[in-house]
Structure formats: structure tokens, C-alpha cells
Amino acid sequence: MSQYKVVHCNINGKNVEKAVDVRASLTDMLRNEYHLTSVKKGCEVGECGACNVLIDGEAFNSCIYLAVWAEGKHIRTLEGLAEPDGRLSDIQQAFIEETAIQCGFCTPGFIMTAVEILEANKLYTDDELRKLLSGHLCRCTGYENIFRAVKKTMYNRLGKPIDF
Amino acid sequence: MYDIKALYEAESIEHAVSLRLEHPDAQIIAGGSDVLVQIREGRRAGKELISIYMLDEMRGVSLDDDENIRIGSLTSFSHITRDPIIQKYINVLGEAVDMVGSPQIRNIGTIGGNTCNGVTSADSASTLHAWEAIVELTGKNGVRRMPIKDFYIKAGTVDIRADEGEIQTAILIPKSSYENTYGHYIKYGMRNAMEIASLGCSVNVRLSDDKKTVDRCRIAYGVAGPVPMRAPSAEAVANGENVSETLIDEFALAVLNDINPRNSWRASRDFRLHIAVQMAKRCLLESIKKAGGVIQ
Ligand SMILES: Cc1cc2nc3c(=O)[nH]c(=O)nc-3n(C[C@H](O)[C@H](O)[C@H](O)COP(=O)(O)OP(=O)(O)OC[C@H]3O[C@@H](n4cnc5c(N)ncnc54)[C@H](O)[C@@H]3O)c2cc1C
Ligand code: FES
Ligand code: FES
């Protein structure tokens, strides 16, 4: 017997509501009900970060988060980053410029963690940045370019000259 | 989709207690970072769940009337690390839980889940043992409190009376435990992120006013036995003694009288015994430094 619950939340700035199967993960809800397919299904046990989204400003692996817990929350996914006219956000642009993307599977998750990092408006050290990015696996890039893209955007936003 | 038989969402602590009494076979889910993974693995598949995750009244750190630190059981690791009360009085707890899994896991994982799972490797557990935390449970007969040492019954089993509707509502650090006390935690693992401890060691000290004598020293381990444990003979060696290098060495060797690690794929018993001594040494040294002591 399926059990459903209406979940009201704000996704990428829009108030929405839908009846959701209580057995759904937040990944299931975002992909299947709202077609936000930047939210990837990787390991589905909280280890790889491919499903990462921001909930009330903090990064969560949506694969180990019940969809019904989204009630009343503000959720942001990669789809909410670009301007309405399609212009990319600075962090997305930096990923392209630094060749921080190969297959792209890990990219949305990484970028949403980067958004949380950047919104702290702090100048993190390299070690701190590496620790903050450590909840994501990338099987392609070797991480160095991802690290550079985030670091560069952090320096740019704080108006500081960058030295790699 | 998770294989869940039914989900009951608690709307208050009292409601959670009554849901437990109504559904005796249901299991509590807090942040779900253990429970949901075990459902995926099949170990907990097909069960009824009572979710307490939405109970904001169980979140946050505060000081009670007697200045004991009160940590709501649903407080996430990242919120503990960032909390000013934690940073001021028991910074080592914030540092210890900042070594859990990854940033995303630290946003979802709760200190309640980290203790109720009864797991010896839990990164908060050795520090909570070393600071003699008090566990608060709320059930149909009201509130029950006990020292964390008594909360752990055996590996994976803690003293929560489901038949009395109990849930863990807070963890307390008494003022007498944290006053003038400084500590250090070391997690030994193969890598820095996404790693369960091969061994965890947490030490804290309170020095005399002139900083020359160890007034009180406490040490606890994770993964040195089936549940987190103190090392009483090591503590006895250090208590009341003058701060010195020899004392630190004697203290560290004495842990071998207390701990009983096992062989596992993560590390052998012998290796764990070896690093236990080194970790005790480094943790005590660091704690003494933080307390303003100087090694003679
Ligand atoms: C990828 C990954 C990496 C991890 N790395 C680490 C690590 O490095 N170190 C570490 O210590 N842990 C780690 N964990 C384990 C987990 O994140 C922690 O144990 C966490 O503290 C569990 O908290 P939770 O709220 O998510 O618990 P849940 O999964 O909700 O619950 C855990 C258990 O406690 C019970 N429970 C929870 N809260 C209560 C309560 N208030 N009252 C009564 N019963 C309760 C539940 O019934 C269940 O049995 C990791 C997990 C994942 C998925
Ligand atoms: S898919 Fe969620 S962490 Fe891997
Ligand atoms: S770009 Fe392929 S996994 Fe990261």
C-alpha cells in the first residue's frame, strides 16, 4: 500500500507543491516530479556527492534525504544558477575555463557545494578548500582543475588578485 | 524509492513518544545517514519508520540554568562545530565531529544518531566518553538521564527503552566536566575524508592553577573495544602528577592495561595497540599545551 504526502517547498526560487510517495528520496522527487536532472544518481548511499543540492543554504546529498523532509525548505539545484537569458553564473563559467569538466557527471554536485563555499564570503586557504570539496568523487578530472575553478571564483568574488 | 513499509512523521517530542508506543516495531530515523544506507543495503529494508527529523525543538546548543552544556540530539555535526558555546568550552568536540565523512554528511548526521547507533568508531563517542557526557532520554514516564558509559550496553545496542516510548532528546556536558578543561582528538584513518576511524583517541586535562600539576586527566578510545571506552589505569597514572615528558610516556604505556582492540580488515590488533600508545601521547601533549602547561 503506497502512502503519499503533499510536500510544499521552494525550488530554485519558485513555491511548489506535489503529492509525493513517502518512500521517495529527495533525488527521486527532484528528478521525477520536477525534472531537475542535474541531480544525479551515483552511489545513492551518500558517498559520491553527485546528487548534492542546497537545502536552506547547506549542501546535502539528496539520495539520503527523504523527499517529505523538503516540506517548508528552500532547495536549490544547478538549474537555478544560470540567468534567465541563459548566461552562466561565474562558477559555471569558471568550470568551463579551467577545464574542470570531462564527462560532467560529478559537476552539478561539485558546483552546488562550490555555491555554498562562495556564499560564505570567506577567503579559505587551499587546505580548507580541499576539505570543503572532499565530499565529491570525480573519476575523470583528477580534481586539480575543479579546485582551481572554485579557488579562482572565490578570489574573483572577493575582489582579490589570485596566485595559484 | 526506499523499501519502507510506512513512515510516521513526529510533530513534537510527545508525539514521537506516543508513535513509538503505538508502533512497537517501528524504528526511529533522525538524519537517516545510517538508517537510509542500511535500507539500501537491505539490512533494514521493509521496516516502519518514525521520523523525528522535523523536530526543531531538538536542535541547537545552549547552557542550562546550572551552566551545563545542552546539545539537542538532532543537532548536526556542522552546527556543533560552528557553535560558539562548543567553541568556547569544548572545542575538541567540534573538531572531532568535523572529521566525520564529508561536508554533506556533517550537514545531515546528528549527534543523537552518532550515539544511538552504539557504534564504537563513531567520531563523537570517544570525546563524549572522555568528557563524561550525560545522555537524556524522554519517554512515557518523563525524562531519564544517565552517564554515557552506562548508555552503551554492547556493540550496536544502547539503553533506550523502546517499550516506554523513549527517544534520546539531548546530550549534556556538566559544568564540572568542562570547566578549565582542554582536550584533543585524533582520528586515525587511511585517508582524511570519507573514512571510518581505525582508532580514535580523545584526551582532556585540567591543570592546577600554576599549570605544573595534572589536576584531572581523562582519556577515551573508539575502536579499542566493542564500544567506546575510557582507559582508567592511564588516567590513574596521570592524575595528581607533575607535568613532565616521563609522565606523558608512562601515561601512554598504561593504556595497554585497559584497551582490547581486535583484528579487522581495517587494521590488526597489534597495529591498533601500537598507535593507541602514540595517540595517547600526542593527545595528552596537545591537551597540556592547550591548557597552558609547559613540558619540563
Ligand atoms: C558516507 C557516509 C560517511 C560516514 N562517515 C562517518 C564518519 O566518518 N564518522 C562517523 O562517526 N560516522 C560516519 N557516518 C555515519 C553517520 O553519518 C553517523 O553515525 C551519524 O551520526 C548518524 O546520525 P543520523 O542522524 O543520520 O542517524 P540515523 O541514521 O537517523 O540513526 C542512527 C541510529 O540511531 C537511532 N536514532 C537516531 N537518533 C535517535 C534519537 N534521537 N533517539 C533514539 N534513537 C535514535 C536510529 O534508530 C538508528 O538506529 C557516515 C555515514 C555515511 C553515509
Ligand atoms: S548519489 Fe548521493 S552521494 Fe552518491
Ligand atoms: S567529470 Fe567525470 S566524474 Fe567528474
**Same-domain status, B62 and B171:** yes
DSSP state of A25: B
**Same-domain status, B233 and B267:** yes
pLDDT band at B154 (very low <50, low <70, confident <90, very high): very high
Mean pLDDT, residues B93-103? 98
Mean of the per-residue pLDDT values of chain A:
97
Task: Please report, for chain A, the start and end positions of each structural domain, with discontinuous segments joined by +.
Answer: 4-78, 90-157
SS3 label, residue B11: coil
pLDDT of residue A64: 98
**Same-domain status, B73 and B169:** yes
Q: Which three cell numbers stand for residue B292?
A: 597552558
Q: Which three cell numbers stand for residue A27?
A: 533525488
**Same-domain status, B83 and B125:** yes
Q: Report the CATH number of the A4-78 domain.
A: 3.10.20.30
Best CA proximity match to B127, nearest among B117, B114, B136 = B114
pLDDT band at A1 (very low <50, low <70, confident <90, very high): low
Q: How far apart are CA B126 and CA B101, in angstroms?
A: 16
Sign of the four-CA dihedral A52, A55, A60, A63 = negative
B273 within domain boundaries: yes
The fraction of chain A above a pLDDT of 90, given in percent, is 96
SS3 label, residue B8: strand
pLDDT band at B286 (very low <50, low <70, confident <90, very high): very high
User: B231 and B220 in contact (C-beta within 8 Å)?
Assistant: yes
B295 within domain boundaries: no
pLDDT of residue A113: 98
- CATH classification at residue B266: 3.30.390.50
**Same-domain status, B164 and B80:** yes
Q: Which three cell numbers stand for residue B128?
A: 563524549
Inter-chain residue contact B103 with A134, CB threshold 8 Å: yes
By Cβ distance, the residue of A44, A45, A68 closest to B9 is A68
**Same-domain status, B206 and B169:** no
Mean pLDDT, residues A144-164? 95
B296 within domain boundaries: no
pLDDT of residue B192: 86
Number of folded domains that form chain B: 3
pLDDT of residue B295: 87
ipTM comes to 0.97
pLDDT of residue A108: 98
Q: At what angle do helices A107-119 and A144-157 cross, to 10 degrees?
A: 30
Inter-chain residue contact B6 with A3, CB threshold 8 Å: yes
Best CA proximity match to A67, nearest among A5, A12, A111 = A5
**Same-domain status, B108 and B159:** yes
Which residues, listed in sequence order, are joined to residue A16 by a DSSP beta bridge? A9
Q: At what angle do helices B269-290 and B245-254 cross, to 10 degrees?
A: 140
**Same-domain status, B70 and B140:** yes
- CATH classification at residue B151: 3.30.465.10
**In chain A, which residues have their Cβ closer than 8 Å to the Cβ of B3?**
23
Mean of the per-residue pLDDT values of chain B:
97
Sign of the four-CA dihedral B182, B186, B192, B195 = negative
Over the stretch B55-89, which tens digit does the pLDDT of each residue have?
999 999 999 999 999 999 999 999 999 999 999 99
Mean pLDDT, residues B1-30? 98
pLDDT band at A2 (very low <50, low <70, confident <90, very high): confident
B228 lines ligand 1 (CB under 6 A): no
B39 lines ligand 1 (CB under 6 A): no
The fraction of chain A above a pLDDT of 70, given in percent, is 99
**Same-domain status, B160 and B172:** yes
End-to-end CA distance of chain B: 61
**Same-domain status, B61 and B136:** yes
Q: Report the CATH number of the A90-157 domain.
A: 1.10.150.120
Question: Nearest 5 degrees, angle CA B254-CA B260-CA B266?
Answer: 115
By Cβ distance, the residue of A21, A45, A132 closest to B103 is A132
User: B274 and B261 in contact (C-beta within 8 Å)?
Assistant: no
Mean pLDDT, residues A84-106? 97
pLDDT band at B191 (very low <50, low <70, confident <90, very high): confident
Q: Which residues of A touch B (CB under 8 A)?
A: 3, 5, 21-25, 28, 44-47, 49, 52, 58-61, 64-66, 68-69, 71, 113, 131-132, 134-136
Sign of the four-CA dihedral B218, B223, B224, B227 = positive
Q: Which ligand has the shortest distance to the CA of A100?
A: 3
By Cβ distance, the residue of B4, B37, B193 closest to A64 is B37
Domain that holds residue B196: 180-290
The preferred substitution site among B100, B166, B221 for testing ligand 1, maximizing ligand atoms within 8 Å of CB, is: B100
Helices and strands: H and E segment counts in chain A: 5, 5
Shortest-distance atom of ligand 1 to CA B169 = 41
